[in-house]
Amino acid sequence: MQTTKLKPSMEGVFPVLSTPFDAHDEIDRDSLERQIDWAFKLGSNGVCSAMVSEILRLTSAERVNLNRLIVEMTAGRGAVVASVGAESIQQAVYFAEAAVEAGCDALMAIPPVTTRLPLAALQDYFSTLADAVPVPLIVQDASSYVGAAIPTDFYVRLLDQYGPQKILFKPEGAPIGPNLSDLRDASGSRASMFDGSGGILLIDAFRRGVVGTMPGTDLLDGIVALWNALKAGDDETAYRVYFPICAIVALQLQAGLDGFLAIEKYILVKRGLFATDRRREPNAWTLDAETRIEVDRLLEMLTQAIPLPK
């Protein structure tokens, strides 16, 4: 087993970057850099590649290159987390080693999505990944929208085997709140847990002990304001900012991963961060005019709810 390489603190707001594409369906470097600069300008503690980065729709070379670009553009301003989950151990280790070589500070992995693994195979998958690289590994259950659920006792066995500096968690299997509490209690509060799901459950997750949140970048100004309000114990501000975030994410959730992608990229174009809202094809859902009008209305409400800088 390799020694864990300790890098920047893995706490706070870590937005999952959306992958921008140009008119030729290539990764748009300028839009990616604008998105990363905006994330750190808002006070993010790091950035991630993950499901809403469309990593499962990228070629292997593009996945490797995306993480390299993110490290280069982050330029030491915060931690970089690379999602390396794949359908085989060989693929996952390949992506993990490439991410560490590029300079990523931590990895995140979902289990394979095409088969429901028995616990012994799941153990082999995550243990091999953890042993392959010297950086922390965030074990992600994304079963609310892709893959199979991971039981709490499995999380705790990994934690016991590797320790809390090496193994962290992003439990997004339903019911998310009770599952967070279950892991917190079963681990004796040793488990470092991240919130996901676009921020729609962030207040509940915060009260259950998460150390950070991994939202999309589209609503990041609101998420940062919400996280700061929660840390300060300012419930009035927290709920004021939270409600329009919830309403927008509820619209995203109606169409699963494609709902997140379509609305997120629409908002990123509207904010002037992306040149296009192109997604990798095929897609199951496209933003319709009435949803777009509602998103615009809610985005204006969010803008008005965010406190002005002091």
C-alpha span between 176 and 55 (Å, rounded): 23
Question: Which 3 state secondary structure label does DSSP give 11?
Answer: coil
Q: Which contiguous run of DSSP H or E holds residue 240? A: helix 235-253
Q: Is residue 41 left, alpha or beta, with left meaning phi > 0 and alpha meaning psi from -120 to 50? A: alpha
CA atoms within 13 A on the CB side of 200: 15
Q: Contact at 8 Å (CB) between 252 and 264?
A: yes
* Residue 214 is labelled as binding a ligand: yes
- The angle subtended at Cα 133 by Cα 129 and Cα 136, nearest 5°, is 85
C-alpha span between 80 and 76 (Å, rounded): 9
Q: State the maximum Cα–Cα separation within the chain, in Å, rounded to a whole number.
A: 54
Phi and psi of 206, rounded to 5°?
Answer: -60, -45
The 8-class DSSP code of residue 28 comes to -
Q: Contact at 8 Å (CB) between 146 and 113?
A: yes
Annotated binding site: 214
Annotated binding site for pyruvate: 214
